């Protein structure tokens, strides 16, 4: 029996969403930090992930931008890390 990795359920869920007709944006953040910086970079699915952490303030900034701009990064899977 093959043992599944810890991230496999998340990959499975993302694949289901990506195969759907939904208007989605998947965020794949690095490790969360609690610093106050808003400093992040975005990578597209398939690109090498740059960095390893991202502040919660940075994630909040991106989420607000996505909520205010319908269609921004629609049907995309975005890596988010400190720039």
pTM of the complete model: 0.87
Place 14 in a pLDDT band, splitting at 50, 70 and 90. very high
Which residue reads 């939904």 in tokens?
Answer: 22
CB 79: neighbour CB atoms within 10 A? 22
Q: Which tens digit of pLDDT belongs to each residue from 36-68? A: 999 999 999 999 888 889 999 999 999 999 999
Q: Domain map of the chain by residue range?
A: 8-82
- Kindly state which CATH superfamily the domain 8-82 is placed in: NAD(P)-binding Rossmann-like Domain (3.40.50.720)
Count Cβ neighbours within 10 Å for each residue of 38-55 and write b for 16 or more, e otherwise.
eebebbeeeeeeebeebb
């Amino acid at each position: 029996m093959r043992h599944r990795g810890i991230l496999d359920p998340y990959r499975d869920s993302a694949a289901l969403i990506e195969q759907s007709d939904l208007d989605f944006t998947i965020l794949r953040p690095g490790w969360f930090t609690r610093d106050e910086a808003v400093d992040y970079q975005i990578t597209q699915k398939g690109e090498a992930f740059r960095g390893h952490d991202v502040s919660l303030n940075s994630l909040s900034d991106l989420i607000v931008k996505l909520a205010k701009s319908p269609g921004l990064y629609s049907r995309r899977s975005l890596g988010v890390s400190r720039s």
